[in-house]
Amino acid sequence: MPVFFYWSRNGQAIPKDSADVKILSADKFLSTLTIENVASKHAGNFTCSAKNAFGEDSQSTALIVRGWINLI
């Protein structure tokens, strides 16, 4: 204890004060990343790293945003 979480997108740290990407830590063991209005600018490789006195681990996933343009 404690576990420290670090979030990144395409290798760049995601700021904790980001307006559209929210990082929340519910307790000592859980961290979540939320994007409320996903747009093409959010596409990329997201990684969550967790570290404590015993070691470090990370998990990555790709976010692909597909959409269309509605021309009226």
Q: All domains of the chain, ordered by start, with CATH? A: 4-63 (2.60.40.10)
What is the distance of C-alpha 59 from the center of its chain? 10
**Residue 70: its pLDDT value, please?**
67
Q: What percent of the chain has pLDDT over 90?
A: 68
- For residue 17, the surrounding DSSP H or E stretch is none
**Residue 32: its pLDDT value, please?**
95
Average pLDDT, the chain: 91
Residues in the chain: 72
Across residues 29-52, what is the average pLDDT? 94
Model confidence at 69: pLDDT above 70? no
Task: Name, in order, each residue with C-beta under 8 angstroms of 29's C-beta and a sequence gap of 6 or more.
Answer: 3
- The pTM score is 0.84
